[in-house]
Amino acid sequence: MYVGSAADAAGLQALASAAAVRRWGSGPAGREVIAHSVCKGKYQPWKGGVRQYGCFRHHALRLAKVQKHGLRGPPPLPHPSLLLPQQL
């Protein structure tokens, strides 16, 4: 169950969480529940110099969707280690 607090207005992540609950939650207003659990896998955007699109459990699924539909939003940032040879 999502319970709002005074800290909800403190940052963008809190606002995004509240918006997700409003959009996908169910139940009476103020007692919304997101129907699916949130993945607790460790997401590493770069692993061994290779771009990852999700945690180790969901990377393959997300990669297939990205290859099929393309990326949304701004282009991803390159891995910092790939920038070093260009700066030397």
What is the number of alpha carbons within 13 Å of residue 23 lying toward its C-beta? 6
Which residue ranges make up each domain of the chain? 1-38, 39-73
pLDDT value for 67: 92
Cα 9 to Cα 17, 29, 34, 52, 78: the distances in Å are 11, 18, 20, 31, 32
pTM of the shown model: 0.47
pLDDT tens per residue, the chain (88 residues)? 545 555 556 677 777 777 777 777 666 665 666 666 667 788 888 888 888 888 888 899 989 998 998 888 777 777 776 666 555 5
